[in-house]
Structure 1
């Protein structure tokens, strides 16, 4: 019992540090974020923080990589929805649009982009992984609907890009241009319904 407690506690502590660091980086930006602040927010000593993460740059890198993993979870959960093409595409669209309207989502995209010169490899990894994870979920749904004969698309990846592209402008792009807290004038359900109808008009069997 005690043997297993050490590693479990260690993993929990690392997760708490990453959560605290993500909040500090998003609020303060990389340059202004201090390791002492991260340690205080995570309720650990600075020495403990450095024992887990030897530098602020390394901590930032791991926070970004961890965020990529977390960001796609709600969208991938939407793949469990059953029903016809409209129901499944709407579930995906709503999960994606909801995610892209969250202030934290806009903040992480903005932060990674702003730090591109300093962390080019990290920024490239983040954007590529986000594209693969989120776009991959859309491709998976579309390919499934092609197999059932509900959609006809010679290039599922292109079709996925078109669907998500219709959602990007009123959600993510709006936030990046008008501020992380900015929300669309229309309800997300209405935006998603319009996007799905347009998509089905083009690709519906």
Structure 2
């Protein structure tokens, strides 16, 4: 069982509950401050002022700056999960399904907000190690399940052949993540990826199908040279 499966809803709200608009305003301003200044340099008073609440009101929702930081990351994780839920492989031939998934996933991983929040979490991982692991595992598990299920269905149809759908899914996601997420994360955006997102997705799917294509793979689709 992953942290994503074991943990309760990070928002702390039960189904049907309505969030206090003051809490929402605080989270919005806090995320902006934490992303711009990091954890250590962020102060509570400016967040409260820009959220149009008193400092005392802020502390009724969040007991400390650390508690507020965790809530910001959890809230952002919820937002990412909602985006990930839209990354669905549509019905159709293997190349069509995998391409639609890959294009959506590349777009998500290349989102500047996604990169910025991952950098913030990584910067504070020694202080909030469990939270950082939860943030990473939750997103990967949610989107990985979608791809694994699609690969399993394509294997049953004979369009793909693989013994470990989860491994195959990880390989495809790795090909997509490397140019648009890990390279900018490591280089600080100093390296510009020359290929478009569409081309990155197409190249990854082509390589994937060359490795895992089955006897019923669409014969009209081109093979690797």
For residue 181 of structure 1, report the CA deviation from its aligned partner.
8.5
Residues 97 and 168, structure 1, Cα contact 8 Å, conserved in 2: yes
Count matched residues: 198
Structure with the largest fraction of helix: 1
Say whether 1:57 aligns with 2:56.
no
For residue 163 of structure 1, report the CA deviation from its aligned partner.
0.1
**What CA distance in whole angstroms lies between the structure 1 residues aligned with 2:189 and 2:111?**
8
In structure 2, do the counterparts of structure 1 residues 26 and 193 end up closer, same or farther at CA, with 3 Å as the change threshold?
A: same
**What CA distance in whole angstroms lies between the structure 2 residues aligned with 1:79 and 1:37?**
40
For residue 79 of structure 1, report the CA deviation from its aligned partner.
1.0
**Unaligned ranges ≥5, structure 2:** 1-16, 215-225
For residue 52 of structure 1, report the CA deviation from its aligned partner.
0.9
**What CA distance in whole angstroms lies between the structure 1 residues aligned with 2:42 and 2:61?**
17
In structure 2, do the counterparts of structure 1 residues 80 and 13 end up closer, same or farther at CA, with 3 Å as the change threshold?
A: farther
Per-residue deviation, residues 29-57 of structure 1 (Å, max 9, x unmatched): 11111112222332322222111111110
**What CA distance in whole angstroms lies between the structure 1 residues aligned with 2:122 and 2:21?**
29
- Larger mean Cα displacement after TM superposition, 177-186 or 73-82: 177-186
> What secondary structure, in the 3-state scheme, does the structure 1 residue paired with 2:86 have?
helix
The aligned runs of 1:27-176 (5 Å cut-off) are 27-79=36-88, 81-176=90-185
**What CA distance in whole angstroms lies between the structure 1 residues aligned with 2:190 and 2:63?**
33
In structure 2, do the counterparts of structure 1 residues 73 and 19 end up closer, same or farther at CA, with 3 Å as the change threshold?
A: same
CA RMSD of aligned residues (A): 2.0
TM-score by length of 2: 0.79
Per-residue deviation, residues 84-123 of structure 1 (Å, max 9, x unmatched): 2112111111111111112211111111111111111111
> What secondary structure, in the 3-state scheme, does the structure 2 residue paired with 1:79 have?
coil
**Unaligned ranges ≥5, structure 1:** 1-6
For residue 170 of structure 1, report the CA deviation from its aligned partner.
0.5
**What CA distance in whole angstroms lies between the structure 1 residues aligned with 2:25 and 2:189?**
24
In structure 2, do the counterparts of structure 1 residues 31 and 200 end up closer, same or farther at CA, with 3 Å as the change threshold?
A: same
In structure 2, do the counterparts of structure 1 residues 141 and 182 end up closer, same or farther at CA, with 3 Å as the change threshold?
A: farther
**What CA distance in whole angstroms lies between the structure 1 residues aligned with 2:27 and 2:91?**
34
